[in-house]
Amino acid sequence: MRFTRTPGPAVHRAGLRSTLFRTLAPLAHESAQRNVRRLAGRTRPPTRAGENPAWEGEPGFGDATWVLGQDAGTLLKSTPMWLLGTRGRLNPATAYRIEYVTTDARERAITATGAYFHSHSPWRGGARPVIAFAPSTQGVAQHCDPSYTCTVGTNVFLTRPYDAIAAYELPVINLFLAAGCHVVLTDYPRDPDLELQLYCDHPSGARALVDAVRAARHLGLPADAPLGFWGFSQGGGTVGTALERTDYAPDVTPSAAVVGAPPAQLDAVLRHADGTLVTGVIAYATAGLMVTSPEIRDEILAVLTKDGLRTLVDNLTTCAGGSLLASGWRSTASWTRSGMPLGAILDDLPAVDDEFARRRLGQGAPDVPVLLWGSTHDDVIPIGPVRQLQIDWQRQGADVTWRENRFPRVPGRTGLNHFGPYYRTLTDDVGWLLDLLRR
C-alpha cells in the first residue's frame, strides 16, 4: 500500500518548511552559545541529574518514589526551565519541568517527570492544540531524561564513563512550538526501588504520557484544547498503546496521532538490533524487563555471565551516545552463558515471554485517525511487525493512513536507516497531524 497524502491547504505544508528553518536558527545559536560558556568555565552541566542543582537548566528533582493517597495526574512539583531555542523572538515559549503522579502497568502509584512547553507563537486555525509527545530513546540514565537534555542540547563527557548527551528530539519539539502548539512530554517512569527506567514497558509509558497531560492542566493547559499524540520508536510504542487502551484516561482524548516505527513486538526488536551500533537498546530493554517482576529478574540473571551483567550496567549508566561505545556493533552472545544472542534466549524464558505478549501492539485498535509508518530497511525496528500492526488495526476498523519509507539502505547497521526517514518526512508528518487538529 502506498502512502496517500491527506488533503489539506498546501500553504500549511509550505509554511511548516519555512517554520522549520525559523526553528533551527535560534536552536543552533543557543546550543553553540551554551557550549562556549561551558568550555569557558562559566557553566557546567552535571554528569548526573541533581548533582549541581544551582546550574540554571537543572531543577534538581528527586528520584522516583512510591505514592499513597494521590490521584494519577496530580502535579507534585513544577519549576521553570530553559528550553533551548525558545528564548528569542523567532520561537518564544515558556517551559516548565514537572513532577507528577502516574501508575505503572501493575497498578502501582509512582512519581514521574516530564515537561510542559507553552507556545507563544501564533496559531492559524481554531483553538490552539496540544501535542502529547512520547520521546524516542535517549538513554535510561537520569541525565538522559528528555526534560533535562532539552536544556543541554549536546554534551560530551571525556572522562570515564565516556558519554554523550544528544537531544535529537529537540528540533521536533521546537517545530511544534513554532507552529503554535503547546507540547507536553514524559521522561518515562522509573522503578522507585532500583531507579531503572521502565524501558519499552508500553503500558506504563502510555499511562505516564496521558498523566503528564493531566498534570500540565494544573499549569493552565486548557482541558478542552484539541489533542494530538506523537511518538517515534520507543515513543511510537507508547502512543500506540495509549491509543489501544483508552479506558485508563477517558478525560485525555486525542483527535489524531502519528505513530512512527513502533516496537510493536519487542522480542523481534531485540533480535533485529543485535550486533548493530545501537546494541545498547537491548541492555535498556533487558533492565526494563528485570524490574517488572522477581520471576523475570531471576530468569534473566540465570542466563547472564558476569561480563554480560557488567556490560548491562555500563549501558544503563550512560546515554545513547555512551552506549555506542559500551556495546556498539557487538553481539549480545558474549553476555550469555550459552553463547547465544540474548534476544533468542529471552524468547524461551516463560515469564519473559508472557511479558512480551502483554506489551505487544495490535491487541486493540485506535478510534481516532492515525498515521502509522515504518521503514523498509530500518536497522533498529524490523518492518515486519509494523506492517502486521497496520493489518491488525485496520482489521479492527481503525482509520489508518499507512506509509512505508523505502529510503535506500545505508550500509553499516548504524541506525541511520532508523532515524533518517524520521527527519526526512518530518514536515509532512507534522503537517498531517496539524491538518486534523485544525478541524
Phi and psi, residue 247, nearest 5°: -70, -20
Distance between CA atoms of 301 and 290, rounded to whole angstroms?
A: 9
* Residue where one domain finishes, among candidates 355, 379, 405: 355
Instruction: State yes or no: pLDDT of 197 exceeds 70.
Output: yes
Assigned domain for 90 exists: yes
Do 348 and 425 belong to one domain?
A: no
Do 178 and 33 belong to one domain?
A: yes
How many structural domains is the chain composed of? 2
Q: Locate cell 506492517: which residue?
A: 387
| Sequential DSSP letters for 115-153 | EEEEE-S---SSSPPEEEEEPPP-BSSGGG-HHHHTTT-
How would residue 67 be classed by pLDDT, with cut points 50, 70 and 90? very high
Distance between CA atoms of 308 and 370, rounded to whole angstroms?
A: 40
Assigned domain for 273 exists: yes
Q: Are 89 and 174 in contact (CB under 8 A)?
A: no
Instruction: State yes or no: pLDDT of 126 exceeds 50.
Output: yes
Q: In Å, how far are 99, 294, 357 from 352, measured between CA atoms?
A: 30, 11, 9
Instruction: State yes or no: pLDDT of 174 exceeds 90.
Output: yes
The predicted model gives 37-57 an average pLDDT of: 38
Is residue 70 helix, strand or coil?
A: coil
* Residue where one domain finishes, among candidates 306, 323, 355: 355
Assigned domain for 1 exists: no
The pTM of this model reads 0.89
The CATH number assigned to the domain holding 343 equals 1.10.260.130
Percentage of the chain beyond pLDDT 90 is: 79
The predicted model gives 45-65 an average pLDDT of: 49
The predicted model gives 113-133 an average pLDDT of: 95
Boundaries of domain holding 336: 267-355
The CATH number assigned to the domain holding 191 equals 3.40.50.1820
Assigned domain for 414 exists: yes
How would residue 160 be classed by pLDDT, with cut points 50, 70 and 90? confident
Q: Are 182 and 218 in contact (CB under 8 A)?
A: no
Do 281 and 427 belong to one domain?
A: no
Do 232 and 304 belong to one domain?
A: no
Do 298 and 351 belong to one domain?
A: yes
Assigned domain for 147 exists: yes
Assigned domain for 360 exists: no
Do 205 and 59 belong to one domain?
A: yes
- All three cell numbers of 193: 526501588
Instruction: State yes or no: pLDDT of 296 exceeds 80.
Output: yes
Do 186 and 164 belong to one domain?
A: yes
Distance between CA atoms of 120 and 205, rounded to whole angstroms?
A: 28
Q: Could you give the dihedral angle defined by the CA atoms of residues 298, 263, 96 and 176, in that order, rounded to the nearest 10 degrees?
A: 180
Do 295 and 253 belong to one domain?
A: no
Instruction: State yes or no: pLDDT of 51 exceeds 60.
Output: no
Give the pLDDT confidence score for residue 14 in this predicted structure: 55
Instruction: State yes or no: pLDDT of 149 exceeds 50.
Output: yes
Do 256 and 107 belong to one domain?
A: yes
Do 71 and 153 belong to one domain?
A: yes
Assigned domain for 298 exists: yes
Q: Which residues pair with 133 in a beta bridge?
A: 185, 230
Do 189 and 298 belong to one domain?
A: no
* Residue where one domain finishes, among candidates 289, 324, 355: 355
Assigned domain for 363 exists: no
- Write out pLDDT tens, residues 5-37: 343 444 355 567 667 656 765 555 565 555 544
Do 290 and 390 belong to one domain?
A: no
Q: Which pairs count as long-range contacts for 36-45, CB under 8 Å and 24+ apart, including other chains?
A: 38/155, 45/152, 45/155, 45/165
Strand 163-166, strand 154-157: pairing:
antiparallel
